[in-house]
Structure 1
């Protein structure tokens, strides 16, 4: 076959293929398509309606795949009861409450994948901007437990920057879902501080006030028992001004707070915190003076009252059965009556729905006078019940009278 004949057959085949393509798309759309690579009016058709070269869905699918890494968020620390539907509904609702939906009406969440063994999920949002807004939800309480909201490992910051905003909108209404800007977020990185040895009776507000002696916090997380909501005695924080990180560690580490000694250091540095630089010494001295004042403010927790609070004496599981509960109350009453005349013994119980409740895991002993309470605190503090070392502190009488067991 000659070269001319081969070229002729090739052109005939090409024309036939293009005719079939035109016929196919014409059947779908009734339109006259403009076929790339062909001359205008090569194959005139009866209709002159415009034609869209490709169906819409494949383009959307390609766009979704290209932006998927920037539209997904990692959610860690999920409770065992979580499922795809509950996670999708929850995050769609909270996104609407904070004003984080930017892709129009409807749910922000389009897909959820859960790894039940490792208790995490990937939550896919409709848009890149909505995924960035969801990053502000780090630390939100889901089914009674705070969850972590992070970027997935396949997130590409440089590529994501071309697709939409990479930071949450600063005008989000986080208060609508019980969050404050920087309340739990921003706790990753080399400037994260570990704060250990916190007295269990210190409230979250008191700890923040102590730490904020050095400046405002960008992130703060007091670690609590998931069942009882009580402090575990340690926290993590990050300062807005990272230059004060080592100053705060040097000033706070080793300070006596009640019957505890604080351990404060960079979380990734081990037991030897970095010392502040010479030019920071004056700032350190001023901060130590402020800490001394803070300690005076925190001393009321040690003022003797008629009420003693025991922590780590009982667990939530021990309090669920009615007979076991009554037996524990009787045992406490008998043991603690040795120190003075008891007026009341209060042991808060967990609710039947499994939700955290104030005071669960604590025992409150009300004595007829301060002398009895003082002897009880001295005699019970540090003792072991079922292998647990008990912490005994005085509790404000007015809060106890009001049934406020949160402190």
Structure 2
């Protein structure tokens, strides 16, 4: 029919091949070549939804061990939606910061990998998160955004629904741990009161060594207070455990910081009063006006916390967001972290230099404000103020 419409005479089977200067093999090759740029474009467009961020890596981890581990684990839980073969196609690792971006074959496999948050890799419980360039609205059209409910997580000693790690109202702070205790030993101690939904031992980013404290959450919330009552004050070697609900105290993780923080806050208050009385603004505090309010809100705005130059690098930015999420989560249920970045073309972006911590309630935000305001960071004193919720929810970070 097409030949008739174009005025081309009907041909016998095989005649078209003879009319062309090359055979069908060459035609197929040309077709494959023409698809290559399209496939490359598709891969680029879906990369943000096919990558996962893996933080808290063990010191000896490398690209090969990470790829092998996650490919084998994905196969074990039945997460390979693209069939046989390795689910991991690429790994970028930042050895200094102990994190990696793991690229999966498909969007669905990346979503399945999100169920691996808290999995133990080379003796270390690692964090599995979406990268900061993940765009949920764009990803919705590319594939499922949640892990398959049919994954066999028990095959790798994970519990279904533990995504989110150790966040929640029943989160427990465990302090005073001997530094020589391994993660498995601590986990064994905690699991004597019931199965854990999540456990996170806080470690030094440079050395990978334990900092002597961590957080956990039990599958059964009824075990929370039982574990706190039994373990708090327990002597372990030359240490005494501090075990309590993480969301009901304004205390800092290290109680030695309390007096230092109080002195710093008092010093800053006096300094501000003296300078403002003379009509002088305090240097180095803030990066422009802040829509602050004395009335507690669910949003905390921090300044003098980050170096703006570090925000330009994707890896550095990812690590800063994760650090802020980890630190801010010590004071209550943290629902979001917003850190505006400079525009690649140099355009001014409102809010650059500020960190916004959104909590589930004002009480948690108040805990964070009391603990973080006046801390030293990079030689600067952190300022923490409540931020107007209407501006925050309207994505107005300029005020």
Q: If the TM-score is normalised by the length of the shorter chain, which range does it land in?
A: 0.3 to 0.5
TM-score, with normalisation over the residues of structure 1? Answer: 0.44
TM-score, with normalisation over the residues of structure 2? Answer: 0.45
State the structure with bigger RCO (CA 8 A, min sep 6), 1 or 2.
Answer: 2
Give the greater-gyration-radius structure (CA): 1
